[in-house]
Amino acid sequence: MFLRHAQNALTLSWYLSVALVIYIGWSVREQRYLLAESGIGYWLGIIGGAMMLLLLYYPVRKRKPRWKYSGSIKFWFRFHMFLGIAGPVLIILHSGYRLGSLNGTVAFFCMLIVAGSGLIGRYLYRRIHHGLYGEKIRFEELYHKDQSWEEKLAELKNKYPEPVEKLGVIESQLVQHGAAASRSLWFYQSMQWQLQTLKRQIIQQLGKNSADSAGFQQRIQSLKSITSLGVHEILFSYWHILHFPLFIMLLISGITHVVVVHFY
Ligand code: HEM
Ligand code: HEM
């Protein structure tokens, strides 16, 4: 618990420092301390660009489980996210907050889009893993049918046959589609709505705090976490499809920019 709080505090202070550096750079931009074409400003371009090349080792390392000598996947993932922010920050300073040429502008916006997309990817990744560096959450972990629930269900069935039946229908649909290729965002959304409606009906019928109502609500909650896992898994796979071409655009525009500024 303490460790998690400390980690959250560290992450927050990292993002705040990034915002502060960008803000300070912005507020002194008119003084033109940094020039993109020479001195520190030029070097910031090179270092920021190199950082964005280095972060590409993470997807390579992830696909080569045997290359342990070059550092753990977890380390490279962490480093990827660090470089994915630090690199663009240095490039923002490198640009001097001025967009002149078409090539520089295109590369600049591609970079912001890819880094922004990375942050969205981080958010989705976290939703389907045990924390940022943990294992992938599996459907089976959320769907447990233990003895105590079976007993409770039999008892509830005698008292409230209708909601138990509705719950059973939703549950069996989720189990059938849970791992199937046919699942979709729409499917999970409609399951979510059905669970929400059922929860409302149960609260109306049994009140919020009775033991039976709590039993139902607990089960509905665990089915909801299955729908949430499904939604985030699908969104993450779409994200992967989108992120790659964005990154290719950055690569091409970044290389074009470097070539153009040196040859023309
Ligand atoms: C993806 C990484 C990079 C981005 C997004 C980027 C972006 C920019 C931007 C926005 C400018 C301001 C003027 C303009 O719009 O053209 C600029 C200028 C410049 N950049 Fe970069 N830069 C990057 C990497 C580099 C690297 C690695 C170098 C050097 C090897 C470099 C060299 C220069 C030079 C010489 C200028 C001044 C020339 C000019 O104003 O046209 N840049 N860059
Ligand atoms: C210029 C900046 C960035 C570039 C060029 C970049 C590039 C990439 C590439 C090429 C991949 C691999 C995609 C694949 O396996 O199909 C990736 C994955 C990923 N990146 Fe980035 N990224 C950047 C910034 C960031 C940032 C700022 C974050 C978050 C703070 C981030 C988080 C992620 C995540 C979560 C993944 C997926 C990891 C996985 O599926 O194992 N990226 N990125």
Residue 21 alpha carbon to ligand 2 centre in Å: 22
Ligand 2 binding pocket (C-beta < 6 A) is 52, 55-56, 59, 62, 80-81, 84-85, 87-88, 111, 114-115, 118-119, 121-122, 125, 240, 243-244, 247, 250
CA distance readout (Å), 4 to 48, 250, 263: 30, 34, 50
Distance, CA 103 to ligand 1 centroid (Å)? 9
Which atom of ligand 1 is least distant from the CA of 46?
Answer: 27
pLDDT for residue 179: 61
Write out residues in the chain with pLDDT < 70, as ranges.
Answer: 1, 178-182
CB 229 within 8 A of CB 126: no
Position 155 scores a pLDDT of 82
The β-bridge partners of 136 are 129
The pLDDT assigned to 199 comes to 93
Which ligand is located closest to the Cα atom of residue 109?
1
Which residues have any ligand 1 atom within 6 Å of their CB? Answer: 36-37, 42, 45-46, 49, 91, 94-95, 98-101, 104-105, 107-108, 111, 254, 257-258, 261
Rounded to whole angstroms, the Cα distance separating 252 from 213 reads 58
**Atom number of ligand 2 nearest to Cα 236:** 40
Looking at all shown ligands, the one closest to residue 55's CA atom is: 2
Length of the chain: 264
d(CA 227, CA 241): 22
What is the distance in A from the centroid of ligand 2 to the CA of 1? 28
Minimal-distance CA residue to ligand 1 atom 28:
45
- CB–CB of 216/202 below 8 Å? yes
CA distances 239 to 28, 117, 168, 190, 199, Å, are 36, 8, 33, 22, 31
Give me the pLDDT at residue 1, please: 67
CB 103 within 8 A of CB 43: no
CA distance 61 to 67: 7
pTM above 0.75, yes or no: yes
Instruction: With beta carbons less than 8 A apart as the criterion, state whether 17 and 77 touch.
Output: no
Distance CA 177, CA 189 (A): 13
Q: How does pLDDT run across 244-257, given as a tens digit for each residue? A: 999 999 999 999 99
